[in-house]
Amino acid sequence: MSGEVGDELPVLRRLPLAARLDPAHPAYALVLRVHEAAMAADVPTYPDPLSGFEVLTAAELWARGFCCDSGCRHCPFSDGPRGPERLTPPPCPDGG
C-alpha cells in the first residue's frame, strides 16, 4: 500500500495541491522552501509563513498511510494538480 513506512514519497506528491496553495501566490516559493526544510530536518510540521499555523509535511502525511479528508495542503494521497505546471500525479496504488 502506498504510504506505508519504507515507501518513498513520490517527488510530485511533495508539492502542495494547487487548490490549497495557488502557485501564483506571492509566498508560494517561500512556503515550498519552509516545507522542504522541515522534511529535510525530518520534523512532522512547519510554521506556515502565511497563517502562523503548524502545517503537516507531505512526508508526515505519507508516513500516516492514508488520507484523513481534512483538506491538508500537502496531502500526498489527493490526486489533484500540483505545482506551477499543475501536473497531476499518477493515482496512488491503493486508490488514495
Could you read off the pLDDT of 29-68 as tens digits, one per residue? 999 999 999 999 999 999 999 999 999 999 999 999 999 9
Classify residue 24 as exposed, middle or buried by CB count within 10 Å of its CB (0-12, 13-18, 19+).
Answer: exposed
DSSP letter assigned to residue 66: S
Contact criterion met (CB below 8 Å) for 84 and 23: yes
pTM equals 0.86
